[in-house]
Amino acid sequence: MAMGYSEKVRDHFANPRNVGKLENADGIGEVGNAVCGDIMKIYLKIDGDIISDVRFNTFGCGAAIATSSMATEMIKGKPISEALKLTNHAVVEALDGLPPAKLHCSVLAEEAVKAALADYYQKKGLPVPEECAAACSGDCAHCCG
Amino acid sequence: MEKIIYMDNAATTSTGKAALDAMIPVLEKDYGNPSSLHQLGQQAADLLADARKRVAACIGAQPDEIYFTSGGTESDNWAITQLALAGAAKGKKHIISTAFEHHAVLHTLKRLEKEGFTVTLLDVHQDGIVRVDELKAAIRPDTCLVTVMYANNEIGTIQPIAEIGAVCREHGIPFHTDAVQAVGHLPIDVQKQNIDLLSMSAHKFHGPKGIGALYCRRGIRLTNFIEGGAQERNRRGGTENLPAICGMAAALEDACAGMEERSKRIAAMRDRIIDEVVQNIPYVRVNGDRQKRLPGNVNICFEGIEGESLLLRLDLEGICASSGSACTSGSLDPSHVLLAIGLPKEIAHGSLRLTLDEENTEEDVDHLLNVLPGIVSGLREMSPVWEEMMKENN
């Protein structure tokens, strides 16, 4: 429930940043599933090694929307190398914490970013960096069990 | 402060004036213990007896059939465990209930299952209504209890209680009903409806929290639930919460007086919300039978979005609602009630419950209907599930 959501979570839920899609995105990542109640889809535009633009679409609870919004803010305008180091903990910290039952949303946010980066490498025909490997298994118990 | 539109009356109601007026003098001056023999004690005992009589009268019971408890959950636990014990003593260890009971009932039944009881949960079908012939078919020689809720707390559907009571009476099986959502909202007569045990909770009808009652028909042996003093005719120890008991009696009388007229007004608002949502928002499902439902209950699934974000967006608009999504249930699964009526999980996640009451106005409904379509389409626009649905449909 809303109880336990920080001001920052509430702000990012009420006014999510970078909502939408990117035409001709260089990388698209989608994780989660509707049966579990959250899906995140992240679109990246990459110029050189910089993430020049990013958008997201999310089906999910308040925390899912807020973590998507925060994760996109944290990688926008940043070099790929930095985005590869994004962790769910960093997203949680940037939001001033999440209730324990909502931590899996931050895991999804991290995984959505990494899935989008993996897609970028694949499209380019380049080897996918190890950091992208932790994709959502689709099994929610993996995060919240 | 911006006006708050409270549409979560199935969760709890405001403390009404009738309850407050009854409670405050008791808190201020009638502090005697009803078990004491001096005048202050006897004054308190009189208040207690009077409250018991008034609560009993509201459901067609006798005063000595009412036991005050801490609320609906305790009443459910007490009724079910005690009747199960009585059944077991006769070698009867089968209980019939439904798949969409409140957790106070379902979790108690789960514990009994671990202790060797067999539980049959009746199907509640797509409309959220139990079928009496299916109950008849489920009865076994060793059935010791039937417990079926009066009206569901999430989807508001009203069960055929009198018919269930008649079947149980015919078979000599005690019948308990969790009537927490019904008492004070629907006319109840335990005699006419053949109800043997009934649970109620004061804060669902503008009474105080932490107080409720169990009705148990004369002749059904109720063993002690809480050991202690001689309170509640030796059945439940502990000094009575007299201010709350007096508040409960006053609130219940108030709720039962003028119930019909009030229900009509509330049901008209309910129907207006449902009709307009169905008309103006695509891909919605109304959960539960449209007619056999509590006057104030609206429960609708919005496909392609998740319920918690919907209710938080409504909260930003000053509207208090609830949802049966996994995120609000504290587990991975969406509400067991929505799954019991056969909704797929991905749709059950998008449920919204609005529970109205006499304090709501047509202006409240106007505001809700003004903001809801925009909130739903805004969330759908950012939903990959919705995007997928639209692609498949084009």
Average pLDDT over residues B57-63: 98
Number of H helices, E strands in chain B: 14, 12
A1 vs B309: CB contact, 8 Å cut-off? no
> Three-state secondary structure along B284-344?
EEECCCCCCECCCEEEEEECCCCHHHHHHHHHHCCEECECCCHHHHCCCCCCHHHHHCCCC
Pairwise CA distance, residues B105 & B73, whole Å: 8
pLDDT of residue B248: 98
pLDDT tens digit sequence for B346-368: 999 999 999 999 999 999 999 99
Pairwise CA distance, residues B196 & B217, whole Å: 5
- Kindly state the percentage of chain B with pLDDT values over 70: 98
| A chain contacts of residue B332, beta-carbon cutoff 8 Å | 36, 140-141, 144-145
| Contact with chain B for residue A84, Cβ under 8 A | no
Domain boundaries, chain A: 7-136
The mean of the pLDDT values for chain B is 96
pLDDT of residue A3: 58
The answer for A 105-134 residues in CB contact with B (under 8 A) is none
Upper half-sphere CA count for residue B382 (Cβ side, 13 Å): 31
pLDDT of residue B360: 97
- Kindly state the percentage of chain A with pLDDT values over 90: 77
Q: Which residues of A are catalytic?
A: 36, 105
B332 vs A40: CB contact, 8 Å cut-off? no
Q: Which of B339, B342, B341 is nearest to B325 (CA)?
A: B339
What is the distance of C-alpha A74 from the center of its chain?
10
Pairwise CA distance, residues B132 & B121, whole Å: 13
Q: What are phi and psi of A80, to 5 degrees?
A: -55, -40
pLDDT of residue A2: 44
Contact B237, B227 (CB under 8 A): yes
pLDDT tens digit sequence for B167-210: 999 999 999 999 999 999 999 999 999 999 999 999 999 999 99
As a CATH number, domain A7-136 is: 3.90.1010.10
B263-267 long-range contacts (CB < 8 A, ≥24 apart) are B263/B185, B263/B186, B263/B295, B264/B295, B265/B358, B266/B295, B266/B296, B266/B356, B266/B357, B266/B358, B266/B360, B267/B295, B267/B296
pLDDT of residue A35: 84
A2 vs B332: CB contact, 8 Å cut-off? no
pLDDT tens digit sequence for A19-30: 999 999 999 999
pLDDT of residue B328: 62
Per DSSP bridges, beta strands B284-286 and B297-302 are antiparallel
Average pLDDT over residues B6-17: 97
pLDDT of residue A131: 83
Flag residues of chain A having pLDDT under 70. Answer: 1-3, 134-145
Q: Under CATH, to which class is B258-393 assigned?
A: alpha beta
- In the three-class reduction of DSSP (H, G, I as helix; E, B as strand; rest coil), residue A91 is classed as helix
| A chain contacts of residue B321, beta-carbon cutoff 8 Å | none
Residue in the block written with tokens 């078979």: B171
pLDDT tens digit sequence for B110-146: 999 999 999 999 999 999 999 999 999 999 999 999 9
Query: How far apart are the CA of B153 and the nearest CA of chain A, in angstroms?
Result: 18
Average pLDDT over residues B273-283: 98
pLDDT of residue B329: 59
Average pLDDT over residues B265-292: 98
A37 vs B326: CB contact, 8 Å cut-off? yes
The ipTM assigned to this model is 0.90
Q: Which residues of B are catalytic?
A: 327
- In the three-class reduction of DSSP (H, G, I as helix; E, B as strand; rest coil), residue B250 is classed as helix
pLDDT of residue A72: 97
| Least confident among A27-41, A74-88, B12-26, B245-259 | A27-41
B325 vs A38: CB contact, 8 Å cut-off? no
Longest dimension (CA), chain A: 46
| A chain contacts of residue B330, beta-carbon cutoff 8 Å | 101
pLDDT of residue A145: 40
pLDDT of residue B393: 84
Confidence band for B383, pLDDT divided at 50, 70 and 90 = very high
Residues 6 or more apart whose CB falls under 8 angstroms from that of B322 comprise: B8, B10, B11, B311, B328, B352, B353, B355
Burial B345-359 (b: 16+ CB within 10 A, else e): bbbbbbbbbbbbbbe
| Contact with chain B for residue A101, Cβ under 8 A | yes
Beta bridge pairs of residue B363: none
Q: Which residue of A has its CA nearest to B344?
A: A35
| A chain contacts of residue B384, beta-carbon cutoff 8 Å | 30, 39-41, 57-59
What stretch of H or E contains A58? strand A50-59
Of B330, B334, B385, the CB nearest to A59: B385
Pairwise CA distance, residues B237 & B227, whole Å: 5
Burial B321-342 (b: 16+ CB within 10 A, else e): bbbbbbbbbeebbbbbbbbbbe
B306 vs A60: CB contact, 8 Å cut-off? yes
A1 vs B306: CB contact, 8 Å cut-off? no
B382 vs A57: CB contact, 8 Å cut-off? yes
| Contact with chain B for residue A29, Cβ under 8 A | no
- With 70 as the cut, is the pLDDT of residue B1 above it? no
Of B325, B384, B387, the CB nearest to A37: B325
| B chain contacts of residue A2, beta-carbon cutoff 8 Å | 308, 311-312, 315
Q: Which of B240, B251, B168 is nearest to B208 (CA)?
A: B251
Q: What are phi and psi of A122, to 5 degrees?
A: -60, -45
pLDDT tens digit sequence for B284-341: 999 999 999 999 999 999 999 999 999 999 999 999 999 987 666 566 678 999 999 9
| B chain contacts of residue A145, beta-carbon cutoff 8 Å | 332
Q: Which of A44, A29, A111, A106 is nearest to A80 (CA)?
A: A44
Pairwise CA distance, residues B256 & B185, whole Å: 7
pLDDT of residue A137: 55
Pinpoint the residues of chain B covered by CATH 3.40.640.10: 17-256
Question: Starting at the edge strand that comes first in sequence, how are the strands of the sheet with A50-59 ordered?
Answer: A27-33, A38-47, A50-59
Q: Under CATH, to which class is B17-256 assigned?
A: alpha beta
Q: DSSP code of B235?
A: T
Query: How far apart are the CA of A125 and the nearest CA of chain B, in angstroms?
Result: 26
- Kindly state the percentage of chain B with pLDDT values over 90: 92
Per DSSP bridges, beta strands B212-216 and B197-201 are antiparallel
Per DSSP bridges, beta strands B66-69 and B212-216 are antiparallel
pLDDT of residue B332: 67
